Amino acid sequence: MSNKKIVINKSMNLRGSVKIAGAKNSALGILAAIVCVGEPCIIENVPDISDVALMCSILSKLGVKIDMISKNSIKVDPRNITLTCANFDEIRHMRASYYLLGALLSRFGEASVAMPGGCDFGLRPMDQHIKGFEALGAKCETIGGITSVKCKHLKGGRVYLDVVSVGATINTMIAAVRAEGTTIIENAAKEPHVVDLANFLNSCGADIHGAGIDVITINGVKSLTGTRYQIIPDQIEAGTYMAASVATQSDILITNVIPKHLEAISAKLREIGGEIEFFEDSVRVSCNNKNLRKCNVKTMPYPGFPTDMQPQIVALLSVCEGTSMVTEGVWESRFRYISELRRMGAKVSVDGRLAVIEGVKNLVGTNVKSVDLRAGAAVIIAGLIADGQTRIENISHIERGYENIVGKLSNLGADIKNIIETPEKVFLGAC
Ligand code: EPU
């Protein structure tokens, strides 16, 4: 059995430019939402990552025709869907498959979807999604790990989300888009991909207002039409290269970004000692300050500091002077990766949702695991700054959400490569 790893040797002072791919979480929502549109759509700037491949495979199994126009453009034709029951293995491997509940319900009046997996951050309930569907008149039940929703004639309703949930906001929006009358979502999530999803649906003829503020109004329309749509750049991929640039005392131009989405991340990186200069759709991140400073971070829903940047900023803070405190304000448990940073010499203690990081002078490379997607990005950053060599296992997590991260870092001058280890031999692989 082959075993793919990433091997990194200490790589400071990176130089050059890196282009950010389309947003993973937008792509997953939009691909699923095409089911409810009912007509072919062409989606551009789709990131070439394994989660997108998995979503395409799930859609194919439902009867959706997928044509790759190019590496980052896909034609999706949902006219001949044959199943409203999605209960196959792939579903359980991806959190975003829950969007099929809203999309199938909207188009066919029913859906059954196996409860999805995804990264392990403790409890990942779906009660707010259900609350949204019920507000539209759907009957919902979960039996044996399969959630079923049913309503032949969805009617607009009002839902107040008890927690700010990206998934519940998007799922309710998708389900409501063709319901009769008006739906109002209060305490909605404001993340960039919520806005992107609403823009996509509006480009198909939907009537959605308020995406990006905390009350979203959806006036149901009878039908939607196919469209050609370009996905926004990935906020978290951009943030990851920004953090890597500060950590490695580099000077990097990060292109294809939306500066507004990077404000919270920039504020913290400046506190630490990075220099950040925004242009229209790019950002230059540099750092020639050997004494990076501690800072405190609390993750929050957008426009707060994103939880999906929490592991990367902890990796950076592990070599900043002083004691930093990072509070996880979104997920119950998102510090499982800390043990990997500790193996590299980081001094971090965790108490519930709080990580206390005592900056050390150096990390030291060793064998570590990527315990989830962003945790993988954190150990890559740690590997770039650690003395010696870092070998990262379980890199399939990283491939779920980062397009060609090894190639992109390598182009910036990092000493990083993929290897495939078999019991007999070690092969050098392509980036
Ligand atoms: N929550 C509930 N009930 C619900 C739904 C959520 O209590 O019905 C809670 C969750 O337990 C969590 C909080 O609400 O404490 C926020 O969860 P949310 O629903 O916003 O998360 P999600 O939609 O499942 C998306 C991203 C995650 C990202 C979060 C928060 C996708 C596919 N995933 O998850 O992305 O961490 O929003 O921004 O969009 C990643 O990309 O690495 C990733 C994990």
Residues with catalytic roles = 119
Q: For ligand 1, atom 22, which residue shows the shortest CA distance? A: 167
Residue 208's SS3 state is: strand
Which tokens is 33 given? 């939402």
Q: What is the pLDDT of residue 119?
A: 62
The residues spanned by each domain of the chain are 3-21+233-428, 24-230
pLDDT-based confidence at 118, cuts 50/70/90?
low
pLDDT-based confidence at 86, cuts 50/70/90?
confident
Tell me the average pLDDT across 75-90: 90
> Ligand 1, closest atom to CA 126?
8
Tell whether the torsion through CA atoms of 214, 215, 220 and 225 is positive or negative. Answer: negative
Are both 3-21+233-428 and 24-230 of the same fold? yes
Q: Which of 329, 340, 321 is nearest to 397 (CA)?
A: 340
User: In sequence order, what E strands does 133-287 have?
Assistant: 139-143, 146-150, 158-160, 182-186, 207-209, 215-219, 228-230, 251-255, 275-278, 282-286
How many Cβ atoms from other residues are within 10 Å of residue 1's Cβ?
5
> What letter represents residue 190's amino acid?
K
Centre of ligand 1 to C-alpha 275, Å, is 31
For residue 201, what are the contacts with CB-CB under 8 A and spacing of at least 6? 33, 37, 173, 174, 177, 208, 224
Arithmetic mean of pLDDT over the chain? 94
Centre of ligand 1 to C-alpha 287, Å, is 32
Helix runs in 370-412, H state only: 373-385, 396-401, 405-411
Could you report the per-residue pLDDT of 391-413, keeping only the tens digit for each?
999 999 999 999 999 999 999 99
Q: For ligand 1, atom 17, which residue shows the shortest CA distance? A: 165
pLDDT-based confidence at 144, cuts 50/70/90?
confident
Could you report the per-residue pLDDT of 213-272, keeping only the tens digit for each?
999 999 999 999 999 999 999 999 999 999 999 999 999 999 999 999 999 999 999 999
pTM above 0.85, yes or no: yes
Q: What is the CATH number of domain 24-230?
A: 3.65.10.10
Which CATH number fits the domain 3-21+233-428, given the four candidates 3.30.1490.100, 3.65.10.10, 3.40.50.2300, 3.30.1360.200?
3.65.10.10
Cβ proximity of 25 and 233 under 8 Å: no
Cβ proximity of 169 and 194 under 8 Å: yes
Q: Which of 201, 238, 172, 234 is nearest to 26 (CA)?
A: 234
Which residues approach ligand 1 with their CB closer than 6 A? 24-25, 28, 95-96, 119, 123-129, 163, 165-168, 189, 191, 307-308, 330-331, 373-374, 401
User: Ligand 1 test: best mutation among 165, 265, 353, most atoms within 8 Å of CB?
Assistant: 165
> Ligand 1, closest atom to CA 372?
42
Could you report the per-residue pLDDT of 265-302, keeping only the tens digit for each?
999 999 999 999 999 999 999 998 888 999 999 999 99
Which tokens is 269 given? 């990186």
Could you report the per-residue pLDDT of 13-50, keeping only the tens digit for each?
999 999 999 999 999 999 999 999 999 999 999 999 99
Q: What is the pLDDT of residue 423?
A: 66
Centre of ligand 1 to C-alpha 137, Å, is 24
Centre of ligand 1 to C-alpha 309, Å, is 13
